A and B are shown apart, each in its own frame.
Chain A
Amino acid sequence: MRIIKIKTNQIIVCLVFSVITVQAFSQSPTQLLDAVDKNLSADSRIVESTMVVHGKRNNRTMTSKSYTEGTAKSFSEYLSPARDKGTKMLKLEKELWLYSPSTDRTILISGHMLRQSVMGSDLSYEDVMDDRKLTETYNAELSGEEEVDGRPCWVLSLKAKVDDVAYDAQKIWIDRERLVPLRQELYAKSGQMLKRILLSDVRQIDGRWFPMQMNYKDVLKEGDGTDYIITKIEFNKPIPAYIFSKAGLKQ
């Protein structure tokens, strides 16, 4: 009788494990990517953040507040340090405008300038601008399973399916349980790795998992990368329309 009971327990454990495994495997790479998008994307987002640039010679810290609506509109204002305070960035569709209070000028950033670093960080204007969902821009393929910081992850290889993405390919480590990326490697068309992102401090906010800290590393640049730390984030809050207007930059 006892033997039968043990066997029953073992069978139940095996069944539960099998169900979990089958459920995970039953998600296609595209579905996994879609789940990641659901965690990371929102109709609107208001973010207060601190950016720490670990340069070769010194570290710099700056704070900013950003508003994002969908994938087409985004506005950021730098709050500190004093030299950068009041500098604003406005993204409308594929155009990026910068406003500097010291010159009272609004400047359009386009072409190769979009690949330049933002505030000396490891992020480019292109990185900041591209808010599109991963499922809209990449095809995914499961390439394995690995652990990141002790957490089991699916490893997906992404290949661009549109021409206007900054990185032709990505490798992304997705937390199996929380379905958020914990590591990303961004590649050029030549196959050379350009950037590496480590995502951490994953918290559950408004029913979604979201990484609150990211370390960007431009592998072609010296230094220890750039920490992007979200100090406050709100999802799906209404944002006044004037925020996303060029006239609003000078206010």
Chain B
Amino acid sequence: MITGFLWKGVVRDRGRSIMPFIVVTIGVFVVVFLDGFMGGMLSNMIDMTARFDAGHLKVVTKAFEENDMEKNNDLAILEADALFDQLRTHYPQVSWSPRIYFGGLLDIPDADGETLAQGPVAGTAYDLLTNQVESERLHLANSLVTGRLIGSGKEALVSVDFAERFEVSPGDTLTFFGSTMYGSMSFTNLTVVGIVRFGNAALDRGAIIVDISYARQFLDMENATTEIFGFLPDDLYKQEEAEAIKRDFNTRFPAWEEDEYAPYMLQLADQSGMGDMLAYMKSITFIMVVMLVFALSIVLWNTGILGGIRRYNEFGIRLAMGEPQGHIYRTMLLESLMIGAAGSVMGTILGLLLALYLRKYGLDYGSMMDNISMLIDPVIRAEITPRMFWVGFIPGVISILIGTALAGMAVYRRKTAELFRELS
């Protein structure tokens, strides 16, 4: 009953509600949108890092883990097939895939077969011929600028920057010169079948992609692999699940405690500073919400004081008519709860709408990423999560309640004995 009466007052007396409503709407809108945008950015980063650098889980030798930056193949996993079988047996829900990294020179021959040009390349070997999932996971078909995907051993995909710099086209045969796993010289002729663009400076600079079965031949890595990547079901990263599998593996196979070449499992949060990044993003959201509550409370406190001045006479009459100060205070809080809820609903809707727009069309900041080596897609898309329905709503309501609670204290300073003098 009283609620309906108060609601009518809020709706009919716009001067009482419009300002707090706008303030709450804007604040909640900003929080909801930023939460979706930053969540999208984080998901983008997790996705790119997982696909190209860290997996959701990764098995390496302990020695390799300690020298991760060098990506030395002489620290690679040996007897990889047996390890693979164990991983598939114990963790069948995870999609496991071996990868080999290698570096060296790609040499472009002239008509006489002598060096015409050459450039350094960072190579990655994926299981492309027997595992279709890897190709899909890397979005290779979408990244293809020209040519086709790898169909047999001695074929390679070359990154667009390298291809443009050295005028390489599909059909050209290049010679790779590098080191085998044991340090010997490694030479092989590779036919370029496609040029790829991943849209990321770090990947497009000087990359070459080959199939892992052939890489094992020219790098002398039979039954060996640099790393084994693991992806959780639906390629969806869940930090707790990944952590549980990692702990189980490292407890089940504790040889790494004694042997630095024994396998050791990592999860995404352990690599490339992703753990810090995840914690940082969570902190940012928390700080954002606290700042919203603080800033809005200050603004709404001020708005409440102005409203209190405007309604000075009204409160005086209500007090003179015998309404207790506590009742007036509670009705003010109830009114602000209504305004806060309405503003929060509106702010949430607007935030969700803008996030939806950016989810569909994305924000392309590729031109700013030319010299950035981070694994992140240059088109950032916001994401929509259930969290967005309350992340702004609750702080929006709380902030107006705090603001009103502070401003409404003035009611308790009114003295009944002075009311007639004030109202006359």
Q: How far is the CA of A221 from the CA of B261 in the complex (A)?
A: 18
Which of B114, B175, B184 contacts A60 (CB under 8 A)? B184
Say how far A243's CB is from chain B's closest CB, in angstroms.
19
Contact A105 B179 (CB under 8 A): no
Which of A60, A81, A105, A117 contacts B113 (CB under 8 A)? A105
Given the known interface contacts A58-B182, A98-B185, the answer about A104 and B113 at a Cβ–Cβ threshold of 8 Å is yes
Given the known interface contacts A55-B183, A119-B185, the answer about A107 and B115 at a Cβ–Cβ threshold of 8 Å is yes
Per-position binary interface string of chain B over residues 177-188, scored 1 when its CB falls under 8 Å from any chain A CB and 0 otherwise: 101101111011
Contact A107 B182 (CB under 8 A): no
Given the known interface contacts A84-B184, A87-B185, A121-B183, the answer about A57 and B175 at a Cβ–Cβ threshold of 8 Å is no
Contact A55 B182 (CB under 8 A): yes
Q: Using a CB-CB cutoff of 8 Å, which residues 101-122 of chain A contact chain B?
A: 102-108, 113, 117, 119-121
Size bin of chain A's contact surface: 20 to 34
Contact B187 A100 (CB under 8 A): yes
Contact B184 A106 (CB under 8 A): no
Say how far A114's CB is from chain B's closest CB, in angstroms.
12
Contact A105 B175 (CB under 8 A): yes
Contact B183 A107 (CB under 8 A): no
Given the known interface contacts A55-B74, A58-B182, the answer about A107 and B188 at a Cβ–Cβ threshold of 8 Å is no
Q: How many of B's residues come within 8 Å of A, CB to CB? A: 23
Which of B74, B183, B184, B187 contacts A105 (CB under 8 A)? B187
Q: Using a CB-CB cutoff of 8 Å, which residues 145-186 of chain B contact chain A?
A: 175, 177, 179-180, 182-185
Given the known interface contacts A98-B177, A120-B184, the answer about A107 and B105 at a Cβ–Cβ threshold of 8 Å is yes
Contact B183 A53 (CB under 8 A): yes
Contact B184 A102 (CB under 8 A): no
Which of A104, A113, A120 contacts B105 (CB under 8 A)? A113
A56 within 8 A of B: yes
Contact A106 B115 (CB under 8 A): yes
Say how far B403's CB is from chain A's closest CB, in angstroms.
62
Q: How far is the CA of A83 from the CA of B218 in the complex (A)?
A: 10
**A117 contacts which chain B residues (CB < 8 A)?**
179, 183
Contact A102 B261 (CB under 8 A): no
Say how far A167's CB is from chain B's closest CB, in angstroms.
22
Per-position binary interface string of chain B over residues 97-115, scored 1 when its CB falls under 8 Å from any chain A CB and 0 otherwise: 0000000010101000111
Q: Nearest residue in B to A120 (C-beta to C-beta)?
A: B183
Contact A107 B261 (CB under 8 A): no
Contact B187 A108 (CB under 8 A): no
Q: How far is the CA of A83 from the CA of B74 in the complex (A)?
A: 17
Contact A105 B107 (CB under 8 A): yes
Q: How far is the CA of A83 from the CA of B183 in the complex (A)?
A: 12
Which of A62, A108, A246 contacts B118 (CB under 8 A)? A108
Known: A103-B188, A106-B113; 18 extra A-B contacts, CB below 8 A, are A56-B63, A60-B184, A62-B184, A87-B185, A98-B177, A100-B185, A100-B187, A104-B113, A105-B109, A105-B113, A107-B175, A107-B187, A108-B107, A108-B114, A117-B179, A119-B184, A120-B179, A120-B182
Shortest 3 CB-CB contacts between residues of A and residues of B: A120-B183, A100-B187, A108-B115
Where the two chains meet, the residues of A that have a C-beta atom closer than 8 Å to any C-beta of B are 53, 55-58, 60, 62, 81, 83-84, 87, 98, 100, 102-108, 113, 117, 119-121, 246
